[in-house]
Amino acid sequence: MNVAIVGLGLMGGSLAISLKKLDFINSIVGSDHNKIHRQEAMELGLVDSIVEFGEVKNYDVIFLAIPVDGVISALKNLTDVKKETTIIDLGSTKAKIVASVPAEIRENFVAAHPMTGTENFGPKAAIDDLYRDKVVVLCDIGNSGEKQAKVAKKIFKALEMKKYFMPANEHDRHAAFISHMPHAISYSLANTVMNQENKHNILALAAGGFRSMSRLAKSSANMWEDIFRQNKINLIEAIELFEDELKLLKGYIENEEWEKVHKNLEAGNRLHDILD
């Protein structure tokens, strides 16, 4: 297979590193609207060469590792790909992307969300094995062509990812709670502290807990603005339910109901019975 990756940041760059290890991948080219990203990707050896976006339609597999609004725009410009071509997007929301796929390339398209990443971005953030042992959610796979579904499954299996299948709308609601809301909270936490504390106190007192919770606030503002926009309804629901939980705990603390505080904290401990 000859592969084109559109978007050479963390996700696209890391994907290129992993794909190079697969014996059924012949070549990997990259495309990116950012001139610096193109240069860095070549200097780092992430891809074999850089091509213009219009050229990616000549490749067997096209990965769209770009912000979710960009995916929708890109798909509109890929309507003349060959019948055998596989287009795989890696966006963090799925419903609006799936609904926006032009009918003439619906069978070419596979909606995928690799549940992985870091707070860093750009080609220099690319790391080896970012995808290994991580979950990839494939949405509405029954609407993809038989060949395209087979190609996507083969690639993700070779990357040693764990495949899950679900409808796009269901994916977006789950992602709002497990991924998108935590990012919103992290940004808000960072802004709260920045508005109350001076830099000296932050540097002197910020320990592991604060650093862990605020780490996500390093993530790309452009990318997460797109995600929040596309998953607005689910994200608002998740934030409101979080606010209810926080108000509940706040009320227990205000009223010095320490036994209820303790039970509330213990209930939260149960999450790691699942995750650990």
Q: What DSSP string runs through 118-182? A: -S--SGGG--TTSSTT-EEEEESGGGS-HHHHHHHHHHHHHTTPEEEEE-HHHHHHHHIIIIIHH
Query: Per CATH, which fold does 2-166 belong to?
Result: Rossmann fold (3.40.50)
pTM (2 d.p.): 0.84
Please report the pLDDT score of residue 276 as a whole number: 66
* Residue 138 β-bridge partners: 112, 165
pLDDT at residue 11 greater than cutoff 80: yes
Q: Is the dihedral of CA 35, 92, 164, 59 positive or negative?
A: negative
CATH class of 171-275: mainly alpha
pLDDT at residue 199 greater than cutoff 80: no
Domain ranges of the chain: 2-166, 171-275
Mean pLDDT of 113-142: 90
pLDDT level of residue 196 (50, 70, 90 thresholds): confident
Q: Which of 4, 45, 43, 9 is nearest to 26 (CA)?
A: 4
What pLDDT, in 10s, does the model give residues 220-275?
888 889 899 999 999 999 999 999 999 999 999 999 999 999 999 999 988 877 77
What pLDDT, in 10s, does the model give residues 44-99?
999 999 999 999 999 999 999 998 889 999 999 999 999 999 999 999 899 999 99
DSSP state for residue 86 in the 8-state scheme = E
